[in-house]
Amino acid sequence: MKKGFTTFFVILLSISIYSQKKNLAERLGYPKNAKLVIIHSDDLGVSHSQNAASTMAMEKGSVSSASIMVPCPWFSEIAAYAQAHPEADFGVHITLTSEDKYYKYGPVTSIDKVPGLVNKNGYFYSSVDSVIQNASPAEVEQETRNQVIKGKQMGVDPTHLDAHMGTVLSSLDFFKAYLKVGHEYKIPVLITSFFQPNLKTKMDSLISDKDVVVDNILSFSPGDFKTGFPAFYTNGIKNLKPGLTYLIIHTAYDDDEMRALKGNQPDWGAAWRQAEFNFFTSPACAEVLKDNNVYVITWKEIRDKITRK
Amino acid sequence: MKKGFTTFFVILLSISIYSQKKNLAERLGYPKNAKLVIIHSDDLGVSHSQNAASTMAMEKGSVSSASIMVPCPWFSEIAAYAQAHPEADFGVHITLTSEDKYYKYGPVTSIDKVPGLVNKNGYFYSSVDSVIQNASPAEVEQETRNQVIKGKQMGVDPTHLDAHMGTVLSSLDFFKAYLKVGHEYKIPVLITSFFQPNLKTKMDSLISDKDVVVDNILSFSPGDFKTGFPAFYTNGIKNLKPGLTYLIIHTAYDDDEMRALKGNQPDWGAAWRQAEFNFFTSPACAEVLKDNNVYVITWKEIRDKITRK
């Protein structure tokens, strides 16, 4: 009798836990097996070309979210746009590198306070490795926080944080700093071990149920050139799995400014960015999303329904 | 007898002083009444467009000298050009303002050390007046020196210093700081009371015979729109007087980057800069200079024959 009673309660409890353990899609109000995607444009603020193309791709195309590089000189332009378009989904693209040869920028924090973040000319380092070698987690935390503060101060209400060149996702200590700032401001941060697969277990141990881990990253990489952009993304969208896919693109025009900025580099260069712009503003893209029952979502939904709930 | 002897010496001394009192043209090796002009492009470093057009105007056109804005993100591009072209006449365009609405930059000095030079977003102020109201001469001196140091560090061997928007020529204390840095590095600085005519007497009292004061400034101003650029500059060149004229232009392309940077402003805007580029790369310009026996000179001549002699 006693045993039967206990079993009854165990079953009841299991049902209760099961019903609380909704998956991400359900927590956001979508069907349990929904294929969710954030179509996300990186690098806004870096140039006028990037700003103009990306806002166009958000207004007229399928791009649902974007993130902004606060330390860059064209930040003011996109901050003014963000103020005028409060419906647009903008995050802060935490930037600790300045990778272009002839176009440089540095921290928003006073250089004296973050000497490990800058090279001898006062600019961010070009590579993620140099940041890992030279910057302390405290410097990364301070600069991350100051980029959020400056973003907010100039009119961006960030829906998320993510990571330029994956820098703050490439070291566990940097990740902790970035996650801490996200928690402070109740802003969801992009969490993925895409940049450093060996950090997965340790990252997972740090997160709570207010944090959201994306299930997949879909992004064109140098090895995909043989496929071409439309085929790569069309196939990628057709093969989306249930869960949240983070589709990372970089939308800009292949114009004089962008060609000068990116030099002749093919990878993530001016022509690459134009090709991504072209696909994600095409009717073909909208169609393949619709035909495959993909839900294109925003970070704002995650922020307001999960992080701030 | 004694009186006659003294008179003889006075006459000898006068001849000697007279012969030493060569004018600027003579000191530079030109005829005494030569019409000298420095055809000078401002604002290099501010954008790729400005860099590309201005170096073209120096290589293929009549521009003899230019100055570079060290705090701007495209400085690296023009610094690399300067290193590859040691013959090109480049100065440091001392920059203490960031006047464009959507494209901002700040000091090369750590912000904590020059709080009076920046607004609440960490950028230079937009207007000269705000700099005068907020910055101390010590801050101006420090930033001026650091712009020269960074310029040299990244490969620019400055032939001169001059003043973006005339800021360091608009206050006597700022002028003292700027002159002091010029003297420290034995670099001639642009000296003119063009921006603040009431400072003339006080400026004159500070300079030595190693300093060079330009006799005239020739520069298109908003009021000259009715004439048009070619007519204005053609007449200006035809009417040059003996002595040193400083011809200030801003050469850039009327392209997307420059239009975004300058907005719709007509004054010193993208179309204005393209018009100056067009005239100063035209055969008509070269011809009018030649026909009027104008000597187009450089700051390097002044630096090496006067300042460093």
Amino acid type, B32 = K
Reported confidence tier of residue B174, pLDDT bands at 50, 70, 90: very high
Chain B residues near any Cβ of chain A (below 8 Å)? 47-49, 52, 72-77, 80, 101-105, 108, 110-113, 120-122, 150, 153-154, 253, 255-257, 260-261
Q: DSSP letters of chain B? A: -HHHHHHHHHHHHHHHHHHH---HHHHTTS-TT-EEEEEEEEEETS-HHHHHHHHHHHHTSS--EEEE-TTSTTHHHHHHHHHH-TTS-EEEEE--B---SS-----SS-GGG-GGGB-TTSSBBSSHHHHHHH--HHHHHHHHHHHHHHHHHTT---S-EEEGGGGGGSSHHHHHHHHHHHHHHT--B-B-SSS-GGGHHHHHTT--TTS-B-SEEE---GGGGGT-HHHHHHHHHHTPPSEEEEEEE-----SHHHHHHHTT--TT-HHHHHHHHHHHTSHHHHHHHHHTTEEE--HHHHIIIIIT-
- Look up tokens 């870096």; give the residue: A46
Average pLDDT over chain B, rounded to whole?
A: 94
Find residue B189's DSSP bridge partners: B161
**Residue for token pair 């230079």:** B124
In order of A103, A251, A288, B58, the CA distances from B183 in angstroms are 31, 48, 67, 27
Percentage above 90 pLDDT, chain B: 89
Q: What is the CA radius of gyration of chain B?
A: 21
Judged by CB atoms closer than 8 Å, whether chains meet at B49 and A74 is answered as no
Q: Which residue from B285, B288, B226, B221 is spatially nearest to B250, judged by alpha carbons? A: B221
- ipTM for the complex? 0.90
Mean per-residue pLDDT for B176-200?
96
Band of the pLDDT at B171, cuts 50, 70, 90? very high
Q: Which of A122, A105, A125 is nearest to A113 (CA)?
A: A122
Which carries the bigger pLDDT value, residue B14 or residue A74? Answer: A74
Give the pLDDT band of residue B1 (cuts 50, 70, 90): very low
Give the Cα separation of A39 and A17 in Å (integer): 32
Question: Looking at the predicted structure, is the pLDDT value of residue A58 above 80?
Answer: yes
Secondary structure class of A279 (helix, strand, coil):
helix
User: Of A112, A153, A256, which is closest to B112 when you measure between CB atoms?
Assistant: A112
Tell which residue, A290, A276, A299, has the closest CA to residue A54. A276
A109, A150, A257, A258, best to mutate vs chain B, most B CBs in 10 Å: A257
- Across the range A166-191, mean pLDDT stands at 98
DSSP track, A197-223:
GGGHHHHHTT--TTS-B-SEEE---GG
**Is B256 in contact with A260 (Cβ distance < 8 A)?**
no
pLDDT of A185 higher than 70: yes
> CA-based diameter of chain A, in Å?
82
Give me the mean pLDDT over the A269-283 stretch. Answer: 97
Q: How confident is the model at residue A226 (pLDDT cuts 50, 70, 90)?
A: confident
| pLDDT, position B9 | 54
Q: Count Cβ neighbours within 10 Å for each residue of B266-290 and write b for 16 or more, e otherwise.
A: eebbbebbbbbbbbbbbeebeebbe
- Chain A interface, best mutation among B49, B100, B103, by max A CB count within 10 A: B103
Shortest Cα distance, chain A CAs vs residue B78, angstroms:
8
Q: What is the pLDDT of residue B225?
A: 86
Instruction: For residues B148 and B189, give the distance between their C-alpha atoms in angstroms, rounded to a whole number.
Output: 12
| pLDDT interval class at B21 (50, 70, 90) | confident
On the question of pLDDT at A196 being above 80, the answer is yes
The answer to whether B76 contacts A52, with C-beta atoms less than 8 Å apart, is: no
pLDDT band, very low/low/confident/very high, at B265 (cuts 50, 70, 90): confident
Closest CA to A185 of A92, A109, A97: A92
Task: Bin A39: left if φ > 0, else alpha if -120 < ψ < 50, else beta.
Answer: beta
**What number is the average pLDDT over the span A296-305?**
98
Write out the E strands in chain A.
Answer: 35-44, 65-68, 90-94, 161-163, 216-218, 243-249, 294-296
Whose CA is closest to A38, among A49, A28, A47? A28
Residue of A54, A55, A77 to mutate, testing the B interface (most B Cβ within 10 Å of its Cβ): A77
d(CA B54, CA B252): 6
- What's the pLDDT tens digit per position in A99-110? 999 999 999 999
- Measured between beta carbons, the chain A residues lying within 8 angstroms of B252 are none
What per-residue confidence (pLDDT) applies to B6? 54
pLDDT of residue A265 exceeding 90, the answer is no
Neighbour count for residue A243 (Cβ, 10 Å)? 17
Give the model confidence (pLDDT) of A108-118 as tens digits: 999 999 999 99
State the CB neighbour count (10 A cutoff) for residue A263: 12
- pLDDT(A87) > 50: yes
In chain B, the N- to C-terminal Cα span, in Å, equals: 42
